[in-house]
Chains A and B, each alone.
Chain A
Amino acid sequence: MKSLISIMDLDERDINALMDTADDIVARPGAYAHKMAGKKLASLFFEPSTRTRLSFEAAMYELGGNVIGFSEAQSSSAAKGESVADTVKTVSCYADIIAMRHPKEGAPLVASQSATVPVINAGDGGHNHPTQTLADLFTIRREKGRVSGLTVGVCGDLKFGRTVHSLLEALSRYEGNRFVMVSPEELKVPSYVKQHLKNNHVPYTQTTDLSQALPELDVLYMTRVQKERFFNEADYIRLKDSYVLTPQKLEGAKGDLIIMHPLPRVNEISVAIDQDPRACYFKQVLNGKYMRMALILMMLEGEK
């Protein structure tokens, strides 16, 4: 695999292979501790995202590799007006693989066209963030034992939340999944996403009522409802609490439900739920690191 720009660059077989490798890393971390010895990951963060950057860097270190790079555009040559293409041509001389975060949509694709080493999109604006989706899929498989035959609820901002769209796209490739989309009217899933589900014959329902949807769910994926997405403050205040997960709302839920969130959370999952064994959002962070390790391995070892 040359570069990973969008989750659509991976087919079902690739994703399954990555999850198998990640499982093995969890089981036998020692076997992987030196796999990337002598290799360097360039972590090029043109906008700060500490969470994602630390995950990539920890992944490379745990494989025995090293990391070079920058954590914001101000400390890079981009501040002097250098193009993405020139930056990655230079970096390709030093590093074996690039993880790139950029505020502009499509920047990692541009980078992959000029780099001579593989590029991983670590998020381009609100556009693609494939390694988040890999972390999500792996978490579902770790917790539920499968990524098929599940009733998956997604809740919150389903209109602008690309993380959710990407997860829906990925899960719709596996058989027997069903989606329950819970959001305020203003933040419903866009029609092109629904069209994609229809084209793939994936059943879904839409509702505004989280409590009502909860009992049938195997997976609940929560996202943040941002204030700036609403036309007026009154609507936001009226709606925000409807999409906050509380222990009361969880009463009707299945005992083996898993609760996910891409983090950072603001208040959409009450802190009281963190103690609930069904809460998986911090496991997602850890699983993200394992999947990034598997991905780096696949991209660098696959070359040989």
Chain B
Amino acid sequence: MNIDAIRNGIVIDHIKAGDGMRIYNFLNLGALDCSVALIKNASSTKAGKKDIIKVDRVPDIDLNALGFIDPNITINIIRDSVRVEKYHPELPMKMTNILICKNPRCITTTEQELPHVFVLTDREKHEYRCVYCESRAPAL
């Protein structure tokens, strides 16, 4: 497969084989009305197998949040059928309403309208903590 099929959109490449659906759900791609392709177990020179997602639109979401799931994935931005940008998602410093705090003693459990905010506390370990209770972020 190639990226020519997409005119304006994104290709999320080098997703660890098997993680494609997780990222599909995380980005809520099922809700989009444009064409979306999830390719599973594509052959990869690097890792043997990989998943790829193609979206025929640039979704309005901070794609760097994907860095929390897997910093090895590649994001390609396509405009007028040309790849204009290619990058690995950076670990975001802060994520709002992407992760939910699971600590039963956290203020977010009683104050429903509070945003769930996690901040990066250890870049090497990919560790995020809740700004309110400092609990470690749950896995996605």
CB closest chain-B residue, reference A102: B107
- Using A127-B133, A127-B134 as known contacts, say yes or no to A106 and B108 having CB atoms under 8 A apart: yes
| Number of residues of chain A lying within 8 A (CB) of chain B | 15
Contacts between the two chains (Cβ within 8 Å), count: 42
Chain A residues whose CB sits within 8 angstroms of the CB of B132 once the complex forms: 105-107, 109-110
| Contact of A126 with B by CB under 8 A | yes
Q: Is the CB of A84 within 8 A of B111?
A: yes
Given contacts A105-B133, A106-B133, A109-B131, contact A126 B105 (CB under 8 A): yes
A197 to chain B, nearest CB (A): 15
Closest A residue by C-beta to B101: A106
B110 contacts partner chain A, Cβ-Cβ < 8 Å? yes
Name B86-140 residues within 8 Å CB distance of A. Answer: 103, 105-111, 113-114, 130-134
* Interface size counted on chain B using CB atoms at 8 A: 15
Determine whether the beta carbon of B109 is less than 8 Å from that of A110. Answer: no
Residue in B106, B113, B133, B134 whose CB lies within 8 Å of A83: B113
B 51-75 contacts with A by CB, 8 A: none
Interface status of A104 (Cβ within 8 A of chain B):
yes
CA gap between A30 and B133 in the complex, in Å: 40
List 9 A-B pairs, minimum CB-CB distance, nearest first: A106-B132, A105-B133, A106-B107, A104-B107, A107-B107, A106-B133, A125-B105, A105-B105, A105-B106
| Interface residues in chain B, defined as those with a beta carbon under 8 Å from any beta carbon in chain A | 103, 105-111, 113-114, 130-134
Known: A104-B105, A105-B106, A107-B132. 6 other contacts (CB 8 A): A105-B132, A106-B132, A106-B133, A107-B107, A110-B132, A124-B107
